[in-house]
Structure 1
Amino acid sequence: MGSKIRVGLVYGGKSGEHEVSLQTAYAVMGEFDYSKYEIKPFYITKQGEWKTGAALDGRPANIEELRIDASESKQTGFALAPLFAGVNADSSTDHEEPRIDVVFPLLHGTFGEDGTIQGLFEMANIPYVGAGVLASAVGMDKILMKKVFAQEGLQQCLFRYFNRTQWERDASFFIMECEVALGYPCFIKPANLGSSVGVSKAKNREELVAAVNYAFRFDRKVIVEEFVDGREIEVSVLGNDDVKASLPGEIAPSNEFYDYKAKYIDGKSTMQIPAILSPEITESVREMAIRAFQAIDGSGLSRVDFFLRKHDSQLFINEVNTLPGFTPNSMYPLMWKETGVPYKELLNTLISLALARHAEKQRIDYIGDSAG
């Protein structure tokens, strides 16, 4: 490693959350200490093509500059070469790029936080910020996540799930099951998507059927959850094996629920940090957040979301987000700021955690004693 740590920022992506990723990348680029880090941008188009530009000495003038323009047909291979420099024995390429020291993925949704790109980084044997393959995959799949939470004994709301084939074969059965077990209103979500994309609230059978069909646009599996009349509480988690939880925050959504519009478009949702909670509930929600993070084998960072039911103050875990929004105005860094960890220190810590996790994994013997 040279005098500066060479950080590859990966953003964009073949995902419905492409634009959200650009917002995150643009914000993060403005917060790095450029005397300590050299920042190399890696842009993934909506079609999945990789593009890379010159190292940055500061944030670009506007967000559109993040859509790196490169028309060479070999661009994806060219862009990936610095990431795979550590495993590429062929040094006869027509360009020489210094190896990236650590990757900071700023991707949301499919192919970004579902374990797929984390697998690419694992194959490249390169350190990267955030959860590994398993934790990313489980954190993305709401059905598997809830099964893990149940095994851990974490209280959660009732839910039902099915895939497209099951729904097409016997929709009437699943409608009846949802109505009997969950009742109305209920929430319908694609199993594998973030930022509340594809999420609907149904108040009757007609809305339920329409919402399920809408959710199937985005995934082959759908989850239906009971409605909890509660406050939306969130906690930021930071660490690898030694894990810390921030003070909790609270979201007051501008819409009927915290959907994509409320998160990213109308700007009217409000945040209360720290959330106004009793000391006992504050301690409980932080402890549950750490348990959830460890249950999925998390590393680096996660934001853990809860419902606090209004009539009896019962806590229900909702989900773990392994790549939460990361602009300076996002809940994850704001909760840490209130807890005493400012944004730049948070960036430094996440990179240190990525390097430490990678170093620890190098102790694993993948070959064994076989003579083959």
Structure 2
Amino acid sequence: MSTTEPVSPAASSGESAPGERQRPRVALVFGGRSSEHVVSCSTAASVLRAIDRDKYDVVPVGIARDGRWVLVADDPAPLQLAPGHLPEVDGTGKGVLLPLSTTDRALSVLEPGQAPRVLGDVDVVFPLLHGPFGEDGTLQGMLDLADIRYVGSGVLASAVMMDKHHMKVVLAGAGLPVSPYVVVTDREWQRDKAAAMDAVAALSWPVFVKPARAGSSVGISKVSRPDALEAAIELARQHDPKVIVEAAVFGREIECGVLEGRDGAPPRTSELGEITVVRGHDFYDFEAKYLAEADVELTCPAKVPDSVREETRRVAATAFDAAGCEGLARVDCFYTENGEVLVNEVNTMPGFTPYSMYPKVWEASGIGYSELIDELLQLALTRRTGLR
């Protein structure tokens, strides 16, 4: 895929000779307050390794678990997720302040006992955050207030697709098939646990119990009998007081990557990928996703009939547009035993290591990892600011 030469929309940082064209400066923001903190760090490690340093200036900015923004060393090694090592942003580093005005683009460094030091202007933010307080529209809203360009969807699409309940409402409203589900709100659970569990019992067993607003399979349980349901809901509630319980779908898990079209063109869809758990796990849980690669088989392109491939890609593009997504999304579908394609989830900031499904399906479609990063930054640099 060809890309145009990036044009920086912000003023130059003044670090180059007069008349010399500036490279866009990218703030990679990662970590965060969600339970997916370590996954976000691992994603950042991968992007730091792959981003084209001849084309972009890079500033790594970490968000500690307490919400503090800090300047992080430009070294991917400590951020890599591996067995026995869960990376984390150290909140004791130099504080970072993002611009809060539409007339300012400068990152500032805050050090105890010293005046704020201007680090330089930022042209675009790449928010490599998963889960609440980053993927759910909160960060996007802050960036919108200052008219700062960023990679990925805006406030509404990020918030709605983060909430599995409202996501299903929007997708069903667009005529897309979704699996049967029951929502258990905090109020319902506190008021009458038995009634909430009776509503779930109306679904056929097994069911999957999930925090409504989390990802990376954090807090998810597969429940095959009624007496295990309460504990599973309590586990999910540790991550979100709102819980969604979905009927199990018997079929294959097929995923499709979506990229925003250029210059008003329709969204682009990738080759399909398939996830198969081959041993050791009841479903595609956190350990299978990130720590036990040998237990999972990722097939790309997925071996499905041409009609199913085209229908899945159509469904993915329709979901992308229905949600109002921008930049990127991964649409997870089920190809059922009776040949139906159901939408499972829309991820507005999917896993983004080179081994994650989103980059893999685009690699199979002819766009390599570094090129994919570049394409997403190019889309962000041309996005409209102000009223959206």
Structure-1 residue corresponding to 2:229: 208
Tell me, what secondary structure is at the counterpart of 2:119? coil
Q: In structure 2, what residue type is equivalent to 1:349?
A: E
Distance 1:317 1:217 in 2: 26
Q: 1:98 pairs with 103, 117, 120, which one? A: 120
Q: 1:349 pairs with 375, 379, 385, which one? A: 375
Structure 1 position 309, deviation (Å): 1.1
Q: 1:158 pairs with 180, 193, 196, which one? A: 180
Structure 1 position 96, deviation (Å): 2.2
Q: In structure 2, what residue type is equivalent to 1:121?
A: L
Structure-1 residue corresponding to 2:255: 234
- Contact 1:85-1:99 within 8 A present in 2 as well: no
RMSD after superposition: 2.3
Structure-2 residue corresponding to 1:369: none
Q: Deviations over 1:275-321 (max 9, x none)?
A: 001110000000000111111100000000011112x1111100100
Q: In structure 1, what residue type is equivalent to 2:364?
A: E
Distance 2:312 2:297 in 1: 20
Distance 1:136 1:160 in 2: 22
Structure 1 position 94, deviation (Å): 3.7
What's the TM-score, normalizing by structure 2?
0.86
- Contact 2:210-2:236 within 8 A present in 1 as well: yes
Q: In structure 1, what residue type is equivalent to 2:346?
A: V
- Contact 2:97-2:107 within 8 A present in 1 as well: no
Q: 2:328 pairs with 286, 290, 301, which one? A: 301
Structure-1 residue corresponding to 2:363: 337
Q: 1:256 pairs with 282, 291, 294, which one? A: 282
Alignment of 1:120-139 (within 5 A): 120-139=142-161
Alignment of 1:54-65 (within 5 A): 56=74, 59-63=75-79
Structure-2 residue corresponding to 1:370: none
Structure-2 residue corresponding to 1:327: 353
Distance 1:256 1:69 in 2: 34
- Contact 1:43-1:67 within 8 A present in 2 as well: no
Q: 1:117 pairs with 139, 158, 177, which one? A: 139
In structure 2, runs of 5+ residues without a counterpart are: 1-7, 13-21, 81-86, 109-114
Q: In structure 2, what residue type is equivalent to 1:339?
A: S
Tell me, what secondary structure is at the counterpart of 1:98? strand
Does structure 1 residue 192 correspond to structure 2 residue 213? yes
Distance 2:34 2:379 in 1: 27
Q: Runs of 4 or more off by more than 3 Å in structure 1? A: 59-62, 66-72, 83-94
Does structure 1 residue 31 correspond to structure 2 residue 55? no
In structure 1, runs of 5+ residues without a counterpart are: 367-372
Structure 1 position 121, deviation (Å): 0.8
Does structure 1 residue 316 correspond to structure 2 residue 333? no
Structure-1 residue corresponding to 2:84: none
Structure 1 position 170, deviation (Å): 1.8
- Contact 1:239-1:299 within 8 A present in 2 as well: yes
Tell me, what secondary structure is at the counterpart of 1:246? strand
Structure 1 position 244, deviation (Å): 0.4
Q: In structure 2, what residue type is equivalent to 1:230?
A: G
Structure 1 position 63, deviation (Å): 2.6
Structure-2 residue corresponding to 1:277: 304
Structure-1 residue corresponding to 2:97: 80
Does structure 1 residue 217 correspond to structure 2 residue 238? yes
Say if 1:89 and 1:41 are closer, same or farther in 2 by CA, change over 3 A: closer
Say if 1:68 and 1:218 are closer, same or farther in 2 by CA, change over 3 A: closer
Distance 1:145 1:338 in 2: 28
Q: Deviations over 1:139-161 (max 9, x none)?
A: 10000000001100101111111
Structure 1 position 221, deviation (Å): 0.7
Distance 2:106 2:275 in 1: 51
Distance 1:68 1:45 in 2: 5
Structure 1 position 90, deviation (Å): 11
Distance 1:322 1:89 in 2: 25
Distance 1:28 1:84 in 2: 26
Q: Deviations over 1:156-193 (max 9, x none)?
A: 1111112122122122222222212x121111111000
Q: In structure 1, what residue type is equivalent to 2:305?
A: S
Structure 1 position 97, deviation (Å): 2.2
Distance 2:119 2:48 in 1: 21
Say if 1:91 and 1:131 are closer, same or farther in 2 by CA, change over 3 A: closer
Structure-1 residue corresponding to 2:316: 289
- Contact 1:52-1:68 within 8 A present in 2 as well: no
Structure 1 position 335, deviation (Å): 0.3
Structure 1 position 32, deviation (Å): 1.0
Distance 1:91 1:37 in 2: 16
- Contact 2:69-2:91 within 8 A present in 1 as well: no
Structure 1 position 91, deviation (Å): 11
- Contact 2:40-2:129 within 8 A present in 1 as well: yes
Q: In structure 2, what residue type is equivalent to 1:30?
A: R
Distance 1:315 1:133 in 2: 28
- Contact 2:33-2:65 within 8 A present in 1 as well: yes
Q: In structure 2, what residue type is equivalent to 1:165?
A: R
